[in-house]
Structure 1
Amino acid sequence: MITKQEFVKKEKYLKLNKLGDFIIDYDGDLNIIDFHTHMSNVLPLKVVDPRAKGNILKYKTLPNISNMDLSVPYWTKHTIDNKKKGLLSVLKFSSEGYTIFKDMTNGGTYENCFKSQEENKINRNIVLPISSKKYDRSLESLKIAKDYPDKFTAFCSVHPNDSEIKEKLVKYKTLGAKGYKLKITDLELKNNFTPLIEAFKICYEIGFPVLLHTGSLTHIDKKDTSKLMWKLLQSTRVEIFGELLNKLPKDFKFIFGHSGIGEYKLVAKYLKQYPATYTELSCQSTNSIQYLINEVGYERLLFGSDWPALPQSITLSRVLSATEDNQQAREYILMKNAEKLLNI
């Protein structure tokens, strides 16, 4: 069985810190804005104080080293025994998601974040709250940016069905929010996208770019799942949200979170169709990033990591690999595109 030490020897731009976590292996200077991060108090769970000390971050989203493959999006090998059929598999999948959120909430502290920023040469994190119908975490995100304005920039998040969504978004922009983040499924919306479209229109009116989680897992085949499980796995596929852009102005600034994971080629299609759209690269591979550069250029690609769900280092190492022969593309993806989009 391969060890982490053996693994990083084969992967350029990656090494391990003293705790055995992946960090960047790069000697030169880098200027980096991480466009996709969270913190311990911006998720729809019980709030953990980000000032907490000694909380361990385990990166439960990351596949174990024997099942890791950085040549594909989401970095997970496809295995023939990865079957997800029956109600039990749905319950297990939901439980695993809850465990991941708990680890992010526990480990997404200032202490862990500042350490990761330092080890990976990150200048600034864009903090993305995830709000639900019950919990609006926008104010927590704004407080983080207010407490450390040189380290963080805040987005806000309001559920589309919130009756006060317009008033809240206007208020949050006044308080310093730079955009709108949402993680939502067609199942939650019950295939009624009117509230989401209206939320997008409000964001357009007030000048907010919108970032949504998009894409489905790459290492699970339809034939290995039940109909219910497949519907759940496909509930954030790129096509759902990409087609909504038909109902928005052509200069609406929409960001495909995770570049659609395994659906990055479809993301490229939408980027060609809608010139004001962007894509964020967390959990992409070197090859998929190169594909996006070749298809749509580098001016609308944004480096993101999804920390603390995933290490900041791995997508960063993929960007460095994909831009070895194009220093300008590297600079734009790592910082300049984010600066221009958010005017920071």
Structure 2
Amino acid sequence: MLPKNKIKVIDFHTHLMSLAGAEQVFPEARQSMFFKHVVPLVEPIADLTEGLHDRLLRDLAMRYNNKLSRLIYSHCGELFLMEALRLFKRHGLERLVFNMDKLGIERSVIYSLEPLTKTQDILDQVKKYGDRFSVFASVHAEEKDKVGYLKPFLDSGTARGLKIHPMVGGYNAANLYEKARDIFALAEAYDVPLAMHTGDIPIQRITTSQVSCCGIPAIEALVHDFPNCKLVLNHLGWESWRAVIKLAEEHPNVYVETSWQHASIMRRAVKALGPERVIFGSDYPLFQQWQALREVRKAFKPNEFQLVAHDNAARLLKLPISEHQVVGV
């Protein structure tokens, strides 16, 4: 494990899930023979061997642009769905707080993923921890009054930003502009960050629903029409990192978040955008915070690390900025 940092860190990408929410996601996949007969046997073994396969699976995913890895990864949809749901169940709020204390992470941003986890459910869970968490609200694509659903969270100050996850939330490339336009407008009007998943995930290959991870062209029209919306693209595009960096180069309101990326790709982002628009995130519990911090440490010089690991996120969240420069992180 890593020692505590000499500066405090903000993790801009974490999740929590209620068990009730898990039952609502990819129901057709969960009725498969794999989930009915294989998962009950494999899941206990996965719990026991988590330390080993955790590193192997994440190493594979971080090399997603490798042709062999992409081929393997694209045929493992059910396995990865099982692993994602297992991690959500196993790594809850108390473990997240323990990890944060151990690693010197002062605050984590928790994204709601409607219907996987309701925004109010997350707010209720983290209430006792005060300012250790900032919650981003989300809304399903088929919600008729998206603004009406999200606005109370922003008016009350309980949500510090908004989140769109196309695959979980029912969005796709064809409907994204129509379904997400009001969310972009709301984030712009309230001057809060909007985080959005980018990159392919194998789960879409095991579902017959009309949702998918949206490509960068589908996002670009919204970025163009809402130039004052502070958009944070999660995973730095994953396998689409080149397109995400290009989009951010052309639009100064676009930020990139580092989860699931190699240090070498993070360096490319900093070279193109400067360190002020790159933000640290882990994607806990799918990616452990200590692993994500290790990769960020590889990528950045001490002054860059402070911006990426804390100050950039603090500015977006309207939190105090550290005035000291840090060496030897």
TM-score range, shorter chain: 0.7 to 0.9
The answer to whether residue 316 in structure 2 is matched with residue 332 in structure 1 is: no
Which of 124, 129, 137 is the matching residue for 1:143?
Answer: 124
Corresponding position of 1:173: 154
Counterparts of residues 167-246 of structure 1 (less than 5 Å): 167-175=148-156, 176-185=158-167, 188-189=170-171, 191-193=174-176, 194-216=178-200, 235-246=212-223
| 1:249 CA displacement | 2.4
- Output the amino acid matched with 1:149: G
Number of aligned residue pairs: give it. Answer: 293
Corresponding position of 1:82: 72
Corresponding position of 2:110: 127
Structure 1: distance between partners of 2:128 and 2:104: 21
Counterparts of residues 1-344 of structure 1 (less than 5 Å): 23-24=1-2, 26=3, 29-41=6-18, 44-45=21-22, 65=55, 69=59, 72-73=62-63, 78-79=68-69, 82=72, 93=77, 95-132=78-115, 137-175=118-156, 176-185=158-167, 188-189=170-171, 191-193=174-176, 194-216=178-200, 235-323=212-300, 326-344=301-319
Corresponding position of 1:18: none
Q: Deviations over 1:228-269 (max 9, x none)?
A: 78x99x932541443233552212111101111122221111
What TM-score do you get using the length of structure 2 for normalisation? 0.76
Percent identical: 21
- Output the amino acid matched with 1:109: G
Greater helix percent: which structure? Answer: 2
Structure 2: distance between partners of 1:43 and 1:177: 22
What TM-score do you get using the length of structure 1 for normalisation? 0.73
Q: Deviations over 1:90-137 (max 9, x none)?
A: xx61x33442342233123232112211232211110111003xx661
Structure 2: distance between partners of 1:273 and 1:128: 26
Tell whether the 8 Å contact from 1:68 to 1:77 is kept in structure 2 after alignment: no
Name the Cα RMSD after superposition.
Answer: 3.6
Corresponding position of 2:39: none
Question: Structure 1: which 5+ runs fail to align?
Answer: 1-22, 48-55, 221-226
Other structure's SS at 1:104 match: helix
Question: Structure 2: which 5+ runs fail to align?
Answer: 25-45, 320-329
- Output the amino acid matched with 1:166: V
Structure 2: distance between partners of 1:306 and 1:249: 26
